[in-house]
Amino acid sequence: MADDRILLRMCRMSGHEMKFIMEAFEGEWVVPLGPNVSGFEKDLEKFLREGCRVVALSSGTAALHLGLLMLGVGEGDEVMVQTMTFSASVNPVRYVGAVPVMVDSEPSTWNIDPDLLDKAIADRVEATGRKPKAIIAVCLYGMPADYDRLLQVAEKWDIPVLEDAAEAFGSSYEGRRCGTFGHFGALSFNGNKMITTSGGGALVCPDEESARKAMYYATQARLGYAYYQHEEVGYNYRMSNISAGIGRGQMIVAEDYIAHHRHRQEYYSEHLGGVDGIELHENPDPRFDSNFWLCTALIDPALRIKGQDRAYSSAITGTVGGAGGVTGQGASIHTDCEPNANVEALRLALAEKGIETRPLWKPMHRQPVFAGFPAYVNGVSESLFHRGICLPSGPYVTDRDADRVIESIMELIEKK
């Protein structure tokens, strides 16, 4: 890039988008319906799995919200949700007045631990006298969940699964695309995702009937009268025809983008995988085929990074990630759960070189906003958060850029 920065993740236009956008303008389809919306939905259905139905929405969060509504989750219900995730996986649980029950991860996939989930459900049934209403399963950083074991637990308890595949577009498990394993699946096309519509998402539905119901909720729950008649609360969640046009252009090269991310992961693994104290997150076995939306690594606490004694010496005044740089100001330099000093030192030193990295998601059970909700933990998610870092992984990151990232990391490791 012109300013020589290496960004963690940045959307990329393929050149195909303008055709669909101009067709939308010329046809004056600049509203939340039109040929691009239906065309994008058909493209997604073909990409995911024949027979599924897709409803294009304004965001992945909207998809999760509608998924919960479609599953009948409401006030006071409990929803089992992975604690190692972004807050958008949990916020919709609160939108509907339900109670999030956080469940920790397994070490291999970093996703929800099926054995711990089983025990947690049993405990909730004993404590409350009723089953949780749904399970939200996340494919963290593009890594599929262990669906064989996860779905066995869901079937044992007869609890529906809402799949959060926001980060897993193009990932698959045993040859089946993520987003199609649950009763419903949520996709995201935010500006930092594998493909983008600038902002947007989709709900993957099992059939035409459920898709029509989701579309009904997404368009303000209007009934079929000549005037406006509403018997349920609806939402303004439909994707615009302009955004869908961007998505249609992105779909033309989606497989190329996915291949690029997998190549980036292989490249980091080849050059950093043998470094003492650095562990790249890889597919656990051949059943898993991650898109590697973000390439992530764990830094051993014993690995010394230059300047780590000064890692938390000043408060962050800007933003690390966030929506367009809009974040609140932290109350202090430290919180009671934060990355290790060597991880923060590495992030800061790479930033000084124009290389953007970030910590892993902070577990939801350690977030003040969710304090007091039930949590079943085994220490895995907190350990990952303390040690983890996300490396530049986007479509603009070339092999030459990756070489600079790798060389910079090696320079920052203190020699024994």
Radius of gyration of the chain (CA): 22
Q: Give the pLDDT of residue 326.
A: 54
CA–CA gap between residue 164 and residue 84 (Å, rounded): 12
Take residue 227 and report the two structure tokens written for it.
């005037």
Q: Are 218 and 55 in contact (CB under 8 A)?
A: yes
Q: Give the pLDDT of residue 325.
A: 54
- If phi > 0 it is left, if psi is from -120 to 50 it is alpha, else beta; for residue 68 that is alpha
Residues of the chain with pLDDT under 50: 1-2
Q: Give the pLDDT of residue 320.
A: 57
C-alpha 398: how far from chain center:
23
Take residue 49 and report the two structure tokens written for it.
């799995």
CA–CA gap between residue 390 and residue 242 (Å, rounded): 32
Q: Give the pLDDT of residue 317.
A: 62
Q: How many CB atoms lie within 10 A of CB 244?
A: 31
Q: Domains of the chain: which residue ranges?
A: 17-253, 255-412
CA–CA gap between residue 30 and residue 24 (Å, rounded): 6
Q: Give the pLDDT of residue 2.
A: 42
Q: Give the pLDDT of residue 1.
A: 39
User: Architecture of 17-253 per CATH?
Assistant: 3-Layer(aba) Sandwich (3.40)
CA–CA gap between residue 241 and residue 403 (Å, rounded): 40
Take residue 246 and report the two structure tokens written for it.
């961007």
The pTM for the full model equals: 0.93
CATH 3.90.1150.10 fits 255-412, yes or no: yes
Q: Give the pLDDT of residue 31.
A: 59
Q: Give the pLDDT of residue 327.
A: 61
pLDDT, tens digit (0-9, with 9 covering 90-100), for 292-314 = 999 999 999 999 999 999 998 87
CA–CA gap between residue 301 and residue 299 (Å, rounded): 6
